[in-house]
Structure 1
Amino acid sequence: MKKVLTIGIAAYNASTTLNHTLKSLLIPEIMESLSIIVVNDGSTDDTELIAQKYVDKYPTIVKVINKENGGHGSVINKLIEIVDTPYFKLVDADDTVEKIGFIDLVNKLSITKADVVLSPFFMYDLKDNKKQLVGYLNSINKYERNKVVRFDKYYQIIQPALHSLTYSTKLLKNSGFRVDEHCFYEDTEYSLYYFLNCKTILLLDEPVYCYWIGSTTQSVNIQNRLKRRSQALRVSYSLISFFENNKKNMDNAKEIFYKNQITGVLSFDYQLLFALLNGKRAKYESQEFDLNIKRTSPELYEYVDKGNMGGKKVGKVIKIFRKNNWNGYIFLHFCFRKSIVNKIKMG
């Protein structure tokens, strides 16, 4: 059977979760259509041993690559180099796939030529065992389900995320883009860069991915986000650089898409800095971040309150701070920091 999809698994010290991930993928009806590559990113636990057991049992399906630790981004870059099936999907080693949706995805991939495939996904909160369905459009309007559509018809309402994405391998390889290595939150780059040359999208309505959240060790945990905020900002600066370097090649739809998406990320970063416990520190870092955006991309700097990715309110507040030389920031920080923290936890 011809293989149509490579599943790349980023695995670092994943001995407690990797079995769960691999079992969810190895569905008899479709597994011969898959190539599953586990990239062991310098783990110090039994990740390699667990992966090798699956290689031994499913030698035509599962492979393992061992490499020095380079972070999630290095795994993505490595996988894009070696993937040789028509489509590629990234799955983290502490997540799973949904059986019905995954079977549907693989079957659809065998008959499509779309550049990108988007599918809903679940977020499963380990703390309260709640499972929430998440879409990939920021609109409740009807859309063309299970059909290939043009990017320029949907560019204003797409909300791409790693968990919703399956890419054409040709699109990935021809782009030449690499995401940041030794850095958290680079999945935002992975979710955006490759849309630059996207023309067609297959819109699916069955959830494929299950994103397990609630662990204190995850990078999206609020305390980890605050500790690693410099890495979140590094990703934002990379996105800004990407926009500035490639906007000459963007048509109107792509330019608006990237302005919306990137200013949405910037708005989240302003909120992250606002969530710092010390008001003076929060003000200083927010001003510094704001000035860096102004220096590197005056266009995005001015657009920060115009995007439609949930950042308009934050952008308007930032523009008020700019006009008032950031006066009143510490008072508002005192009044609203807790609500911002709770918002980040929920988001």
Structure 2
Amino acid sequence: MKTIKLLSIVVPSYNSQDYLRHCLDTVVLGGQEVEVIVVDDGSTDSTAEIAREYCGRFPGIVRLEQKENGGHGSAVNRGLEVATGTYFKVVDSDDWLDTSDYLSVLTLLRSIGSVDLLITNYVYEYSYNGKHKVMRFSNVFPQGKVISWDSMHRFRFDQLMLMHSMFCRTDLLRECGLKLPEHTFYVDNLVAYLPLPYVKSLVYLDCSPYHYLIGRGGQSVNTQVMIKQIDQQLKVTRMMIEAYDLFKDIECEKLRRYMIFYLSMMVAITVTHIYIAEDERLSCKADELWDFIRQRDEKLYAVLQRSFLNSCIMFGQKISPRLIARGLNLIKHIYKFS
């Protein structure tokens, strides 16, 4: 008889030989209640060999899925297709879980019964200076209590529920039709945004299991990389905007406000990277994005333009590119992503 796992952890991996072991050493500590699905996304290094080693060392816990290269989203899609756990978590191969807080999460999931979403804190780990920053939500959610979105409080300006903070019911992700685009960075925003209206019950645990490494060379949140890949950022941002009519589809006012807040951040980051590139070939893309939003939803367009970040960016763009660069540094300082 096949055992139903409590948690499926998907580890999307592409040429991850230098850091995959560290990641796997932490996630296997969940024991037999957890399945760790390493999705080798067409690696050309020793990623698959390392995964096979862990399959041998931790039978019944670690499994390997191999596929042609399709990007991070494609690897998450494969993981969701084959996951057998009641709950679902993505842990990127250069990140890791804190052992004590990870075990606290499993204890809560084991005892809480069925809940759509578990939210935890997460930690930014800055590789270039050895510092870290914990992103907490204790001001937003009551601790350890199953609630609906109506019971949450306001988010601060510097808070976002990213993929790293979420343990989601696996069947809910399937019910909402989550399917990420291939060969596209920044799809973690879709994982953190698209399922939200389907969530009817959630619980917050004031611990910090997920450690998110920032500053690795070539990382997708690096400024120059983001400029180079701006079309992918635009694609994800448009997909988020297209997903819902926030003023018709979302009944809960608190959830609507948060989703608009998330969109305003995405638009701000996108247009800021376009402006600081100072590339005539890119300069029209910001206007095209705003035109897309206005044509889709005049009310959303007005709300996003009035948001603090976007108001500052539009003002700075009229005055000086240097102000835009400073604005990007402000966004990074606020959201700690670089």
**TM-score of the two chains, using structure 2 as the length reference:** 0.89
Counterpart residue number, 1:146: 144
Given that residues 175 and 197 in structure 1 are in contact (C-alpha distance below 8 angstroms), is that contact kept between their aligned partners in structure 2? yes
- Of stretches 38-47 and 166-175 in structure 1, the one that deviates more from structure 2 is 166-175
2:20 alignment counterpart: 18
In structure 2, relative to structure 1, the CA distance for the partners of 1:344 and 1:315 (3 Å cut) is closer
Name the CA distance, whole Å, in 2 between partners of 1:264 and 1:217.
22
**In structure 1, the residue corresponding to 2:146 is in which secondary structure?**
strand
Matched, 1:199 2:200: yes
The residue aligned with 1:187 is 188
What SS does structure 2 have at the residue aligned with 1:166? strand
Q: In 2, distance between residues paired with 1:172 and 1:21?
A: 24
Matched residue, 1:226: 227
Any conservation in 2 of the 1:11–1:39 contact (CA below 8 Å)?
Answer: yes
In the alignment, which residue of structure 2 is the partner of 1:288? Answer: 288
Aligned counterparts of 1:68 and 1:2: Cα–Cα separation in 2: 28
Q: Helix, strand or coil for the counterpart of 1:178?
A: coil
SS in 1 for 2:211: strand
Distance 2:248 2:121 in 1: 32
> 1:339 pairs with 322, 326, 329, which one?
326
Helix, strand or coil for the counterpart of 2:12? strand
Q: CA RMSD in A?
A: 2.2
CA offsets 1:197-253 (integer angstroms, 9 cap, x no match): 101111011101000111121101111011111110111111111024x86442143
- Aligned counterparts of 1:341 and 1:316: Cα–Cα separation in 2: 13
The corresponding residue for 2:258 is 257
- In 2, Cα distance between the equivalents of 1:153 and 1:122? 25
Q: Distance in 2 between matches of 1:270 and 1:155?
A: 29
Rounded to whole Å, the distance in 2 between the matches of 1:345 and 1:143 is 24
Match of 1:315 among 285, 306, 310: 310
After superposition, what is the alpha-carbon deviation per residue over 1:15-40, rounded to whole angstroms, capped at 9, x for unaligned?
Answer: 1010000001222xx41111100000
Contact kept? 1:221, 1:345, Cα under 8 Å? no
Contact 2:20 2:94 in 1 (8 A): yes
The verdict on how the C-alpha distance between 1:277 and 1:271 changes in structure 2, with shifts beyond 3 A counting, is same
Deviation string for 1:110-150 (max 9, x for gaps)?
11222101111111111111121112x4xx74741122221
Identity %, equivalent residues: 27
Separation in 2 of the partners of 1:69 and 1:60?
Answer: 26
Instruction: Report how far residue 331 of structure 1 moved.
Output: 3.6
Paired letter, 1:170: D
CA–CA distance in structure 2, aligned partners of residues 273 and 340 of structure 1 = 13
1:80 and 1:142 map into 2 onto residues whose CA distance is 29
TM-score by length of 1: 0.87
Letter in 2 for 1:109: L
Sort the Cα spacing of 1:64 and 1:71 in 2 relative to 1 into closer, same or farther, 3 A. Answer: same
Distance 1:288 1:124 in 2: 35
Displacement of 1:163: 0.8
Kindly indicate whether residue 130 of structure 2 is the aligned counterpart of residue 129 of structure 1: yes
Moved over 6 A (4+): none
User: 1:70 Cα shift?
Assistant: 0.7
Distance (whole Å) between structure 2 residues aligned to residue 87 and residue 143 of structure 1:
20
Instruction: Indicate the residue corresponding to 1:242 in structure 2.
Output: 243
How much has 1:172 moved relative to structure 2?
1.0
Equivalent residues, number? 327
Which residues of structure 1 form unaligned runs of 5+? Answer: 307-311, 322-327
